[in-house]
Structure 1
Amino acid sequence: MTLIKKANIAQLLVLSLAISSCAKEIKKVELTDAKLPKNVLPIVKPASKDSTQLSADYIATKKIKIENFYQKNWPNNTMNGSFLVAQNGQIIYEKYNGLANFRDKDTITSETPLHIASVSKVLTATVILKLINAKRLDLDQKVTTLLDRFPYPEVTVRTLLNHRSGIRNYSYFTDRKANIWDRHKTLTNQDLLDLMATKNIGLEFKTDSRFAYCNTNYAMLALIIEKVTKLSYIEAMDKMLFQPLGMTHSFVCDIKKDKKRIVPSYKASKVEIGIDYLDGVYGDKNIYSTPRDLLKFDLARNSKNFLEPELWAQVFKPYSNERKGTKNYGLGIRMINWETGQNFYFHNGWWHGNTSSYITLPEEKVVIIALSNKMTRNTYAVRKLAKLFGDYPFKLEDEE
């Protein structure tokens, strides 16, 4: 065998090994959550826009109706916030109006992160669900097996997610009348756990006996994320959500470091609302984001392989229906379930002067997002726009 032939064979062997190595790398990347090595965090993978392009006429027709709604809901551009409507991942309408800071006169743009308040719960729940999907956590696992000194033996991950834990709201048991916390000190998630473990704070009701919306549930879920990922909540959200999805204008607020970074909030009268002792708690709130970033999140969350089908179905199961009614809560998502069989999925938020609304319509592949840093309940009216895309029994202003 000549030296040239030997050299060619050697090159082929190297190339073959390289191809084999690449194939293994590709296979590793494509592993399902449950098959990932325990030292690899599951992440939410980006989803592309729907291949079905909306026609120019369709977009124009919807845009006119949404603009009419916008002008009636926020006359004279009084929103002071961010607003976006998209379908198939394609933006039909967006508007950015008002000031991020009334003192500095900074305007709100598509890149201005606003406090999304309780819409943060949807993102916290998403990371928890990915950890469950990856078998790092069980939906019905007792919280006592995860958090040291957690005092309620019957509370599970599921009952935190669906607000059936019976735990009391931290804003009530740490208020001035309770006299168990120095309100001059910033409260943290760990402080909440310590208080519940040492101050004899009993449950409001027996676990899983009824529904009661409670921020403390999601503060505990944030601690569980930290326990399972061995990262801070801030780092875990960044590595599992924000970075992989390209949510470049989204972050969890660290109240000690980000005071100058965050957009302030205001009363309807434009009086600034300052930071208080509750602003250090995260999981239930404290995420800042933009509509465009939340569109990326919504696309990924509603993608085909986001969760195993059985787990995905449980997300949208109504858990708060002890009494007959349409209003319900799933796993990190609010819902309205009408007798006609039509379902409407959303989450609203309010914190200080910040209001938020996230509406996700998986069947129609529509997302509607409204954020404001000046107190107004008009943010929540954007749900009416769902009627433009499906059989939802809401009334738009021009029909009233």
Structure 2
Amino acid sequence: MIFIKKVNILQLLLLALVFNACNQKNKSIEKTAKTTEEPIQDALKKGPKLSDTYTMATHQAIAHFCNKNWPNNSLNGSVLVAKNGHIIYEKYQGIANYSTKQPMDSTTALHIASVSKVMTATAVLQLIGANKISLDQKVNSILKNFPYPEITIQTLLNHRSGMRNYAYFTEKKGVWDRHKILRNTDIVTIMATKAIALEFKTNTRFSYCNTNYAVLALIIEKITGLSYSQAMTNLIFKPLKMHNTYVFDYDRDKDVAVPSYRGNFSKVNLDYLDAIYGDKNIYSTPRDLLKFDQGRNAAVYLDPKLLQQAFIGYSNEHRGKNNYGLGIRMINWPTGQNFYFHNGWWHGNTSSYITLPKEAVTIVALSNKMTRKTYKVRNLAVLFGAYPFQLEDNAKEE
């Protein structure tokens, strides 16, 4: 009996040590986020109030645009436009789930596809701001089996790593059994063991590649000691009060998340790529994305120097107006005017997130029924600044 009591005491001490270590890890992550209640409340405070005349006129212009692009109530998703944190226009229309006839509303979280990259990049920048990692740090110093020695965190963020898209190299015979669900860790293992060569020498040119952000998600996990989902909750979703935003977990959510549809409302089934996160797989709402935009652009939430670096274009080998920063697309016109955005597409989901920091404007459009019209909301920028778009422009979007 005495021996058993000693074992129990040792077990209790061990459990206490484990609990304390976990508690310290969570405290460290909370500290990393620099998100005490007071500064986050400051970050989410609305700016100067908009006049009723301005709000009404702008609302009418946006409504006209939406009615023209989604005639006969054909929108199946949501649109939101805000300035200074004040919502000028929002619309939720259509069916979230065709089987249950669940309607769209302000709490309906849709798959934001590659707009997830903006959030992944923001979490990485927070870790950099907390001196947990650095922009020029080699990835293989964090992920020991990562096979490309010249790739840095920055070249992942700005798509200059030279890696190949996992969706393509896993299709090749003998690389991956597509009857099995692919995971983020599998991607690195495959690249390390299947001799997946770089597409080009690191940092010599830009090539948009989902693999970069799948690897960044693994870095977030390694540095925080948490799952990507929990790290994103601690660093972004919880402090910014994004109550309807979550990271899709394939095993947990595959039967309950809002489905995506083709244009004829036939459901798009999930496949072996649907467990990968970091590059996609965040579900959110326009109101939560507005909170994210406010928080991301607030100096109390993200180091202003790092935020400034995020808005710099890093692919200047060839003259042109299209560029990419650290987790954000941009158009840089010769006039000096800059436009910042990120679009997304996955299965039948399309998304557009536009942030205009100079004008304090946020524009969001989400749809879970396949359409490219979601991307046309960029034309609404002309209502707020000297952007060379046209509200009536019918040109094909990029």
Assess same fold via TM > 0.5.
yes
Contact 2:229 2:246 survives alignment (8 Å): yes
2:233 aligns to what? Answer: 238
Contact 2:77 2:365 survives alignment (8 Å): yes
Aligned equivalent of 1:130, options 122, 126, 130: 126
1:184 aligns to what? Answer: 179
Secondary structure class of the residue paired with 1:272: coil
Aligned equivalent of 2:248, options 253, 256, 277: 253
CA distance in 2, matches of 1:144, 1:267: 40
2:115 aligns to what? Answer: 119
Residue type of the partner of 2:219? I
Structure 1 pair 246/198, CA: closer, same or farther in 2 (3 Å)?
A: same
Q: CA deviation at 1:319?
A: 1.0
Structure 1 pair 344/39, CA: closer, same or farther in 2 (3 Å)?
A: closer
Secondary structure class of the residue paired with 1:273: coil
Contact 1:43 1:244 survives alignment (8 Å): no
2:45 aligns to what? Answer: 49
Structure 1 pair 370/38, CA: closer, same or farther in 2 (3 Å)?
A: closer
Aligned equivalent of 1:102, options 86, 98, 103: 98
- The worse-fitting range, judged by mean Cα deviation, of 260-269 and 39-48 is 39-48
CA distance in 1, matches of 2:214, 2:34: 21
1:60 aligns to what? Answer: 56
CA distance in 2, matches of 1:37, 1:287: 24
**Identical counterparts, % of pairs:** 61
Aligned equivalent of 2:276, options 281, 294, 313: 281
Contact 1:268 1:376 survives alignment (8 Å): yes
Contact 1:163 1:217 survives alignment (8 Å): yes
What is the CA RMSD across the aligned residues, in angstroms? Answer: 1.6
Contact 1:41 1:229 survives alignment (8 Å): no
Residue type of the partner of 2:265? K
Superposed structure 1 runs of 4+ greater than 6 Å apart: 36-39
CA distance in 2, matches of 1:372, 1:252: 18
Aligned equivalent of 1:167, options 163, 186, 207: 163
Q: CA deviation at 1:240?
A: 1.0
Q: Deviations over 1:172-212 (max 9, x none)?
A: 0011x343101111100000011011000010000000000
Structure 1 pair 185/77, CA: closer, same or farther in 2 (3 Å)?
A: same
2:330 aligns to what? Answer: 335
CA distance in 2, matches of 1:48, 1:190: 35
Q: Deviations over 1:48-100 (max 9, x none)?
A: 33341001111000000000000011111111001100000000000001001
1:22 aligns to what? Answer: none
Secondary structure class of the residue paired with 1:347: strand
- The worse-fitting range, judged by mean Cα deviation, of 321-330 and 336-345 is 321-330
CA distance in 2, matches of 1:142, 1:290: 35
Contact 1:291 1:369 survives alignment (8 Å): yes
CA distance in 2, matches of 1:37, 1:97: 41
Aligned equivalent of 2:377, options 376, 382, 390: 382
Residue type of the partner of 1:42? A
2:5 aligns to what? Answer: none
Q: Which runs of 5+ in 1 are unaligned?
A: 1-35
Secondary structure class of the residue paired with 2:179: coil
Aligned equivalent of 1:148, options 136, 144, 148: 144
Q: CA deviation at 1:374?
A: 0.2
TM-score (norm 1): 0.89
- How many equivalent residue pairs? 364
Q: CA deviation at 1:399?
A: 10
Q: Deviations over 1:265-307 (max 9, x none)?
A: 0011111000000000000000000000010000001113333
Q: Which runs of 5+ in 2 are unaligned?
A: 1-26
Q: CA deviation at 1:38?
A: 8.0
Residue type of the partner of 2:33? P
2:210 aligns to what? Answer: 215
Is structure 2 residue 317 aligned with structure 1 residue 326?
no
Contact 1:247 1:293 survives alignment (8 Å): yes
Residue type of the partner of 1:394? F
Secondary structure class of the residue paired with 1:280: coil
CA distance in 2, matches of 1:271, 1:371: 18
Secondary structure class of the residue paired with 1:202: coil
Q: CA deviation at 1:250?
A: 0.4
1:12 aligns to what? Answer: none
Q: CA deviation at 1:41?
A: 3.1
Contact 2:250 2:274 survives alignment (8 Å): yes
2:300 aligns to what? Answer: 305
TM-score (norm 2): 0.89
Q: Deviations over 1:128-170 (max 9, x none)?
A: 0000000001000000100021000000000000000000000
Q: CA deviation at 1:243?
A: 1.0
